[in-house]
Every structure is written in C-alpha cells, then in structure tokens.
Amino acid sequence: MTEVLDPFAAATSVRSLGDGTFVANLHPEWAVGERPHGGYLLALLSRALGDATGLAPLSVSAQFLRPPRVGPVLIRTELLKTGKTVTAARAALEQSGQTCVDATITLGKVPTAEPEWSDVPEMPVNPPSNAIDLAATEVRKYFGLSRVCDMRLDANTAEFLSGGVGEPRMRFWVKPREAQPDLLFALVAGDLTLPVTQNLGRFGWVPTVQLTALVRAHPANGWLRLVVGCRALHGQWFDEDVTVIDSVGRLVCQARQLAIAPL
C-alpha cells in the first residue's frame, strides 16, 4: 500500500540521488506571491540532511542569495563534521545552475525532557474569538500560505489592516491545515509571519537576506503561538525576531532575520 503523506510532508519531500545530492519540487502553495517561502526552503534543506544523517536540525543559518521559482530544484549537501553530539553540515539549494539558498545546519538529537528553566512570553493557548483569520482577508491574495496554514492574527497587533500605524510587533496562532505541527513545521513557523514593517506603513516585497533559527523542541499538537518583534528599522534594513511556543508552553523555535523593507 502506498503511504499517503500529509500536505506539508509531501511539499517537503526530497529524493536522494545517492551522492549527497537530492531533488525536490517547490510547491506553489508554499509561496508568497511567486516566490517560495523562506522558512519552507529551510525545511526542505533540513529534510534532505535529516534523510542523509538520521538527525534533526538544531540550528539553521542561511544566506538567501536569490529567490527560486516554483518547480524542480537540486539540493547539494556536505558533511563538515560528524560527532556523537553534534554534526555540522552544509546544504545549498540550486536552480538553473545558480545557488539560491546556502545554509549551514547543525544537527543532533532534539531534547525530549521538560526544560529545567524557561522564560517565554505570555499568550493565550488558543486564538480568541476576535483573532483575524488571514484566509478571510485581502492578505490571502499575496500571502498564499494562509491556504495551507491556519493563521490567526492578534487583532490588537494588526493596525495596518485598518490603515493605521503602530509598533512593529505582531502575534499569531498558526498550524498546518491538514496535519499537526512537527519539528520542520516549527522551523517554518520561525518565518511564518507578515512583515512587522506593515505596521509602520511599509508595504511590498520584503526579501530575507539572512536568517538564523534555533530548533528547541518537538511541538505538541495544537496551535503554535508566534510573538514577533523588531528592534530597529534603519533605512531599508530591519530585523525581525520570532519566538515560537507550542500549545503546552514549550519554546520550540527561535528565529532572527535581517531583511530589506520596501521604501
């Protein structure tokens, strides 16, 4: 009997060519406009190295060199160090002979025990009744991920939707539509936000230049809670920090990126 993959697993599936390279297909559902989502690309690279090593991503640091298109891609992997606790590797996503994403990934075993100490932001476990379903707003026209991810935006952090201007901070509740969140989806969630610069009146394409994510725990079933903030918008450059918390209050991913805001 053929195994039926959930949509996210199918979208992040890779096929080994046996020499450290993999082929994959970038799905249009996981794109923002015409450009595949950055967190989704990191999940693909991590999937390839996970298949090659049997290990999970602990940290991912990626340079986004150029945006790929929806369609076939080649993933090249290289083991840099193999150890009992930590394995370091490199993975590059190529299309039409050009490198689009170049990542260094630290792999190992994600802790399963409860944390001895944790300091995470306070946020309701489930979205309140006034949370905004992005799939029911105009945002869905360019943010296609709302069709494959159930995404609810905290109405108190959505000034841009009413034409207002506020602080570059947002809060979300997210989960895949036809599956429960897994480790790679937690990694995706570290980039699964609208740009916080929209609350400052900056709209348009926001390319990620560099993103580093720490994967901290396997998420429990249910909503993932995202607390998103920015320390500075300086000229065209801004930072975005995302803290991802699962339904039992466990920190599952921390991500920070440097991105370019539209003028």
* Per-residue model confidence as pLDDT tens digits over 126-135: 999 999 999 9
- Domain limit, last residue, from 75, 108, 141: 108
Q: Is the pLDDT of residue 163 over 50?
A: yes
Q: Are residues 12 and 91 in the same domain?
A: yes
Q: Is the dihedral of CA 29, 97, 99, 203 positive or negative?
A: negative
pLDDT digits (tens, 9 = 90+) for 238-260: 999 999 999 999 999 999 999 99
Q: Which residues contact 230 (CB under 8 A, 6 or more apart)?
A: 168, 169, 196, 197, 238, 239, 240, 241
Task: Look at residue 175 in the predicted model and tell me its pLDDT.
Answer: 96
The answer to whether residue 173 is domain-embedded is yes
Contact 178, 166 (CB under 8 A): no
Which stretches of the chain are DSSP H helices? Answer: 7-11, 38-53, 183-189
Task: Look at residue 37 in the predicted model and tell me its pLDDT.
Answer: 95
Task: Look at residue 140 in the predicted model and tell me its pLDDT.
Answer: 80
What average pLDDT does the chain have? 94
**What's 179's domain CATH number?**
2.40.160.210
Q: Which residues contact 180 (CB under 8 A, 6 or more apart)?
A: 221, 222
Q: Are residues 153 and 229 in the same domain?
A: yes
Q: Are residues 103 and 142 in the same domain?
A: no
pLDDT digits (tens, 9 = 90+) for 62-92: 999 999 999 999 999 999 999 999 999 999 9
The answer to whether residue 127 is domain-embedded is no
The answer to whether residue 34 is domain-embedded is yes
**In the chain, pLDDT over 90 holds for what percent of residues?**
85
Task: Look at residue 121 in the predicted model and tell me its pLDDT.
Answer: 93
Contact 71, 35 (CB under 8 A): no
Q: Are residues 67 and 171 in the same domain?
A: no
Task: Look at residue 151 in the predicted model and tell me its pLDDT.
Answer: 95
Task: Look at residue 173 in the predicted model and tell me its pLDDT.
Answer: 98
Lookup: tokens for 86: 């930590």
Average pLDDT in the 5-31 region? 93
- Domain limit, last residue, from 93, 108, 123: 108
The answer to whether residue 26 is domain-embedded is yes
Helix%, strand%, coil% for the chain, nearest 5: 20, 40, 40
What amino acid is encoded at 129 in this protein?
S
Domain that holds residue 157: 132-260
Task: Look at residue 2 in the predicted model and tell me its pLDDT.
Answer: 47
Q: Are residues 145 and 250 in the same domain?
A: yes
What amino acid is encoded at 83 in this protein?
G
Residue-by-residue DSSP string for 120-189: -----SS--TT-EEGGGSGGGGT-GGGGTEEEEE-GGG-GGGGT----SEEEEEEEETTS---HHHHHHH
The answer to whether residue 142 is domain-embedded is yes
The answer to whether residue 124 is domain-embedded is no
Task: Look at residue 5 in the predicted model and tell me its pLDDT.
Answer: 67
Task: Look at residue 189 in the predicted model and tell me its pLDDT.
Answer: 97
The position carrying tokens 């989960």 is 175
C-alpha span between 78 and 62 (Å, rounded) = 15
In Å, how far from its chain's centre is CA 181? 12
Residues in the chain: 263
Q: Are residues 59 and 147 in the same domain?
A: no
- pTM confidence score: 0.94
The answer to whether residue 163 is domain-embedded is yes
Q: Are residues 167 and 90 in the same domain?
A: no
Q: Are residues 96 and 141 in the same domain?
A: no
Q: Are residues 21 and 137 in the same domain?
A: no
Could you tell me the pLDDT band of residue 1, with boundaries at 50, 70 and 90? very low
C-alpha span between 248 and 172 (Å, rounded) = 16
C-alpha span between 97 and 29 (Å, rounded) = 24
The answer to whether residue 246 is domain-embedded is yes
Q: Are residues 82 and 147 in the same domain?
A: no
Task: Look at residue 139 in the predicted model and tell me its pLDDT.
Answer: 80
Q: How many domains does the chain have?
A: 2
Task: Look at residue 161 in the predicted model and tell me its pLDDT.
Answer: 86
